[in-house]
Amino acid sequence: MAASPTLLRTQVGIVGGGPAGLMLGHLLHRQGVESVILERRSEEHVVERVRAGVLEQGTVDLLMETGVGARLQREAMRHDGIYIAFEQARHRIAMSELTGGRAITIYGQNEVVRDLIDARRASGAPLHFEVSDLSLSGLDGDRPQIRFVAQDQACTLTCDWIAGCDGYHGPCRDAIPASELRTFERAYPYAWLGILAEAAPTSDELVYSLHHRGFALFSMRSPTITRLYLQVAPDEEVAQWSDDRIWSELEIRLSTHDGWKPREGPVLQKGVTGMRSFVAEPMRYGRLFLAGDAAHIVPPTGAKGLNLAMADVARLARAFERFYGAGKTDDLETYSARGLRRVWRAQRFSYWMTSMLHRHPADAPFDRRRQIAELDYLVSSRAAMTSLSENYTGIPFD
């Protein structure tokens, strides 16, 4: 006879132990709200996967204000501008000057995750990795449940609310009846071949480059590590790209007339990432709230993915604080509508950046000339540069 499941109780059940789930748990703990975080992957996988590294001003402020920004303050790199390169010339956009001091900060997502795991462990609040057989029920009632297996023990977690922070492939969004959910998606006809290289950066700020052979991006993770990307076909095989071929193509697409080019070094990691846009509406069903990649995906050109997730959970944590502190449900009721407004603004900006800087396979000579004209206008118009800067550094969290 099968053993009875272990019965657990919490206020907020959080599915997903990535940056969104961990930050939500951290915020709730500071507010005195109980939560349990459940993650299907291993801790090593969650920490080591290489993801975003560009933090908006709002994300940095949130980390600092909530006590998890000490290492970021010591090790991260603040950038007050970016470079846009085309026709083999770099043009600096002075974002901080155009936005009243807002900037971006280079600090890898995996480092954010490390800091948040340390904070969770220090709090003593529950955090479970490698759970399996996870399913949700009772979302349209007042006591939703999460069933899962942890360390070979079947468990049933009864919650007041559930936060689905489990990414695009997680079970939370799929638990919403199809009749209650609309999805919007766009697949792009290109991908990014990304590498992590042991090479000191040769530019103090990011370089976005349009070349007739395709897009390239020069970025970094630390004073000794660079992160670089090449536009490739969506079905590109990594095995076809030797280190020598990668460096040769990066030099062709990034080098400028003033002699600037990326410094070469040993390639530590490489991989191809497809590009798509995705939005699920609404971001709430009954007692379930979606946050982060479970609700939306953006192409990486605009550096919005992690930052949207941080804005989601900051908004959701404030809504829970009002519910448990004052019995108010208004912020819970407006969570989705407010979130989707920000999401669609980020989708617009990311689509614009992507289409402006990538070569579409169907482009004609007209499109090439149009792209150059758009970039020329961008770097010569204070109004256009201000618009990019406001969106890139991030609108304040609502």
Give 190-247 as a DSSP string.
EEEEEEEES---SSSS-EEEEETTEEEEEEEEETTEEEEEEEE-TT--GGG--HHHHH
Contacts of 235 (CB under 8 A, 6+ apart): none
Confidence bin at 2 (pLDDT 50/70/90): low
pLDDT at residue number 369: 96
Strand pairing report for 153-158 and 145-150: antiparallel
- Give catalytic status of residue 208 as yes or no: yes
Q: Which residue has the tokens 């109004």?
A: 383
pLDDT at residue number 1: 41
Q: Which residue, 206, 214, 254, is CA-closest to 234? A: 214
List the domain range (segments joined by +) for residue 120. 6-78+105-185+276-353
Q: How far apart are CA 105 and CA 82, in angstroms?
A: 11
Q: How far apart are CA 60 and CA 47, in angstroms?
A: 19
Contact criterion met (CB below 8 Å) for 96 and 344: no
**CB burial readout 172-199, b (16+ within 10 A) else e:** bbebbeeeeeeeeeeebebbbbbbbbeb
The answer to whether residues 146 and 66 belong to one domain is yes
- Return phi, psi of residue 267, to 5°: -85, 120
The answer to whether residues 116 and 174 belong to one domain is yes
pLDDT at residue number 353: 97
Confidence bin at 240 (pLDDT 50/70/90): very high
Active-site entry in 190, 229, 285, 392? 392
Q: How far apart are CA 146 and CA 215, in angstroms?
A: 44
Active-site entry in 208, 229, 285, 335? 208
**Which tokens hold the place of 248?**
């040769």
Higher pLDDT, 39 or 398: 39
The answer to whether residues 150 and 281 belong to one domain is yes
pLDDT at residue number 120: 98
pLDDT, mean over the chain? 96
pLDDT at residue number 77: 96
pLDDT tens, residue by residue, 174-213: 999 999 999 999 999 999 999 999 999 999 999 999 999 9
The answer to whether residues 151 and 231 belong to one domain is no
Q: Which residue, 139, 143, 98, is CA-closest to 393? A: 98
The answer to whether residues 43 and 126 belong to one domain is yes
pLDDT at residue number 98: 98
Count: domains in the chain: 2
The answer to whether residues 228 and 251 belong to one domain is yes
Q: Is residue 259 part of a domain?
A: yes
**Packed helices 365-380 and 330-357: angle between N→C axes, nearest 10 degrees:** 120
pLDDT tens, residue by residue, 244-283: 999 999 999 999 999 999 999 999 999 999 999 999 999 9
Active-site entry in 126, 144, 201, 300? 300
- Give catalytic status of residue 266 as yes or no: no
Q: How far apart are CA 390 and CA 395, in angstroms?
A: 6
Mean pLDDT of 357-377: 96
Mean pLDDT of 295-302: 96
Task: Flag whether pLDDT at 13 surpasses 70.
Answer: yes
Q: Is residue 100 part of a domain?
A: no
Task: Supply the CATH number for residue 290's domain.
Answer: 3.50.50.60
Active-site entry in 26, 79, 211, 358? 79
Confidence bin at 398 (pLDDT 50/70/90): confident
The answer to whether residues 177 and 227 belong to one domain is no
**Which tokens hold the place of 336?**
């989705």
Report the DSSP beta bridge partners of residue 192.
231, 273
Contact criterion met (CB below 8 Å) for 16 and 167: yes
DSSP state letter for 285:
E
Confidence bin at 96 (pLDDT 50/70/90): very high
Task: Supply the CATH number for residue 231's domain.
Answer: 3.30.9.10
Q: Which residue, 6, 27, 232, is CA-closest to 125? A: 27
Q: How far apart are CA 143 and CA 278, in angstroms?
A: 30
pLDDT at residue number 94: 98
Confidence bin at 52 (pLDDT 50/70/90): confident
Q: How many CB atoms lie within 10 A of CB 255?
A: 17
The answer to whether residues 129 and 30 belong to one domain is yes
The answer to whether residues 310 and 329 belong to one domain is yes
Q: How far apart are CA 47 and CA 110, in angstroms?
A: 5
- Give catalytic status of residue 377 as yes or no: no
pLDDT tens, residue by residue, 141-181: 999 999 999 999 999 999 999 999 999 999 999 999 999 99
The answer to whether residues 141 and 38 belong to one domain is yes
Contact criterion met (CB below 8 Å) for 83 and 92: yes
The answer to whether residues 205 and 264 belong to one domain is yes
The answer to whether residues 268 and 290 belong to one domain is no
